[in-house]
Structure 1
Amino acid sequence: MSFILTFLGKGGTGRTTIAIAAAKRFASQGKRVLFAGQDVSPALSLLWETPLSAEPQTVATGLDVVQLQTTVLLERSWEDLKQQEAQYLRTPFLKAVYGQELGVLPGMDSALILNAIREYDASDRYDVIVYDGAGDQATLRMLGMPEILSWYIRRFRQVFADSDLGKTISPFIQPVASAVLNVNWSGDVFNQPAAQQVNNILAQGTAAVADPNRVAAYLVTTGDRAAQATAKYLWGSAQQVGVTVGGVVLNQSMAIDGLQSEFDPLPIATVPTRAEGDWQTVMNALPDFTQATQVPRPIATNIAERKVALFLPGFDKKQVKLTQYGPEVTIEAGDQRRNIFLPPELSGRQVTGAKFQDGYLIISF
């Protein structure tokens, strides 16, 4: 398993420069590092001073670089899907469609990139994966995808099972499935081998994102007030998807005055402007990225007191909305919505109170 590190911040703050310096520093410490960049323009190759491709290539001892290209990832995933189809269907039909002729639909980029990072992580080739993405809400939604998809599966699974439609067609599923599938299909339609494989992948992804030893993000900002406001907003938004933000990198500026109170309790590291060809100065100024475990976790549950605390910095009481329409509690903050998966001891209980205090939303059951 790898430690996955990414950076959040407004465009133009130097996130890619910081990400490259981080990858170089990890490699200099003897780690096996993969730098995965989402930028497919020539700019990334210019920064690395070597042509990049959709396949990982070694640029220094212990350091590989890959330029994530959606069309290439789509072709690979399509071939994997065709293999799965051939495994389960008696008469596969996707074999007549080729990945090379598929167009990229909106939203495909995030899903394909997340899957690629998952596969690089599972390969056991790397100790650290530095992901240089858009660094905005799109990156956060991508990282939150496993938890969100898990919610859709468990929520609609129960709705379907309880519906008249589900009860009516359940007896007919096995006879029909036997005619077209290579595997036995009986009982819960969401509890079959293929569905279980998906559930396991999503569970692993959710657990990884929630563990700061496995996934962490750092904010990158400059002396610009708009950049700082964006960083603070993304800090709170990251908490909504369960991503731990380990600290702040103040790039191209040493003016730390006033930032401590804005980003407390996050540590702030100041990084000078990089001179042409000088990576070492930036590398030396970077924080210890493995210390993300020392900051407040996005969510903490106290079963004894029947309380759940969500750390939502950057938002005030008016920007946070709590609802409980279904069996789980839904929190809205900014442009993110999160359904809290409660432990069995609290699951199904009604909310008895909530208060917003010092950046925490504290919910009582």
Structure 2
Amino acid sequence: MRILLFTGKGGVGKTTLAAATAARIAASGRKALVVSTDPAHSLADAFGTVLGAEPSEVDTSLYAAHVDARSLVDRSWPELRDQLRGVFAGAGLDELDAEELTVLPGVDELLALSEVARLAESGPWEVVVVDCGPTAETLRLLALPEAIAGYLDRVFGSARGMLASAQVRSAAKSISTLATHLAGLREVLTDPAMTSVRLVLTPERLVVAETRRTLAALALRGVHVDALIANRLVPKARLWQGPAASWLRTRRSEQDTVLSELDASTPLSVHVVEHRAVEPIGSRALIDLADELYAGIDPLDGLRRPGVPLLSVQADGDDYLLTVALPLLDGCDLDLVRVGDDLAVTVDGVRRLVALPLMLRRYTVIDAEADGAGLVLRFAPGQEERP
């Protein structure tokens, strides 16, 4: 099974392109499910039909659904929350403290992601296309399995000395089950053979700048991006005359310049879609749009690129070079800190602890620089850190 995540800055057309991709895949005879986790729920508008929380067939081999995160929270979270509250109350914490400790940040987004995984496993689909929320929400969504797993580990650690009552044992079992589920989600998201992201943008400098920052943030999370899609290019005026034609030529020239700069700064394929006079609604119009987008290339295999590991090590004389594969913007806010056996990498406010390869854990970083491959750190094997 393949999972394709579509995201981008709000208003760039990611929902339409996600729906078009799913429609094109289904038209080729493969069963496809397209799911929206975007609270705006505009996926139904793209197909011109009504969608619910469970998949419904909108065309031959094509199914669609909306994930209602709020409803999932109301159904799924209260039981575990009550169990955790009982654990902390039993530890002598007052009611207010117990309540605060059981506020799980991002639980609605987490349950939405879990629901996508459930839907993916529950049907006959060969491909699941996910219409994610805007970029910032998607980055938070993809970071949740790791972040919440850490939170639960701290919460569970606080309760280890209280494992006596049946209530506590039940809560511990629930936490363990949730932690295992989170690890499974993380594995799915970071498996490039299964999951990849397609970033949708419009050819404007501000949008492209956000897209490039998103590329670095996704790489830091270990999430694979297989393509960039530039939407709403102004059609070429060709032989047209008059003020409107002059405006179109000027605008298209500006867009082409922006895309040329983007193409030169990333090894990813940049696919383009021209702005249409009529909004594509319904399967037929969406398939026509996908035919322009993919231009005869299979939407699955034609864009597939091998995943690049976040970390790679090579010997350089007596030293070792550790490459952290991050596409970095000029002037980005970058910070590196060694924290025990981990490397804390922060890029433009996005931070992740990356476990160092075992062979480097006893050695010291003596130099760091950025190049086209990302960050390159030099370790001196003769300068061992004392345990």
Q: TM-score, normalised by structure 2?
A: 0.73
2:188 corresponds in structure 1 to: 208
Displacement of 1:245 in angstroms is 1.4
Q: How does 1:164-175 map to 2 (within 5 A)?
A: 173=161
> Which residues in structure 2 correspond to 1:262-341 (within 5 Å)?
262-263=262-263, 264-274=266-276, 275-276=278-279, 277=281, 278-287=285-294, 288-290=299-301, 293-294=304-305, 297=308, 299-302=310-313, 306-316=320-330, 319-341=333-355
8 Å CA contact retained: 1:316, 1:359: no
State the partner residue of 2:247: none
- Name the counterpart of 1:163: none
> Could you tell me which of 332, 353, 356 is aligned with 1:342?
356
> Identity of aligned pairs, percent?
27
User: Paired residue for 1:252?
Assistant: 232
CA distance 1:62–1:304, change in 2 (3 Å): farther
Identify unmatched segments of 5+ residues in structure 2. Answer: 88-102, 236-254, 380-387
Alpha-carbon offset, residue 216 of structure 1: 1.0
- Stretches (4+) displaced over 6 A: 82-85
Residues in 2 aligned to 1:35 and 1:303: alpha-carbon distance in whole angstroms: 41
**Gap regions ≥5 residues in structure 1:** 89-103, 161-165, 186-191
Q: What is the rounded CA distance, in whole Å, between the counterparts of 1:327 and 1:300 in structure 2?
A: 14
Distance 1:108 1:194, change over 3 A: closer
Show the counterpart of 1:357.
371
Counting matched residue pairs gives 329
Name the structure 2 match of 1:222.
202
Cα separation, 2, equivalents of 1:261 and 1:295 = 23
C-alpha distance after superposition, 1:263-282 (max 9, x if no partner):
42111111123434422321
Q: Deviations 1:155-184 (Å, cap 9, x if unpaired)?
A: x599x6xxxxx8xx97xx4xx534325969
Deviations 1:93-117 (A, max 9, x none): xxxxxxxxxxx99733311211111
Structure 1 residue 261, shift from structure 2 partner: 3.9
Asked if 1:112 is matched to 2:111, the reply is yes
Quickly say closer, same or farther: Cα 1:200–1:38, change in 2 above 3 A: closer
CA 149–293 in structure 1, closer or farther in 2 if over 3 Å, else same: farther
Q: Distance in 2 between matches of 1:303 and 1:193?
A: 42
| Greater fraction of residues in strand | 2
Q: Could you say which structure has the larger radius of gyration?
A: 2
For the pair 1:32 / 2:39, whether they are aligned, the reply is: no
For the residue of structure 1 that corresponds to 2:365, the secondary structure is coil
Cα pair distance change 1:127/1:361, threshold 3 Å: same
Q: Decide whether aligned partners of structure 1 residues 237 and 42 sit closer, same or farther in structure 2, where only a CA change above 3 A counts.
A: closer
Structure 2 Cα separation of the partners of residues 317 and 82 of structure 1: 43
Shift of 1:12: 1.8
The answer (yes or no) to whether the contact 1:9–1:220 under 8 Å persists in 2 is: yes
C-alpha RMSD of the superposition: 3.5
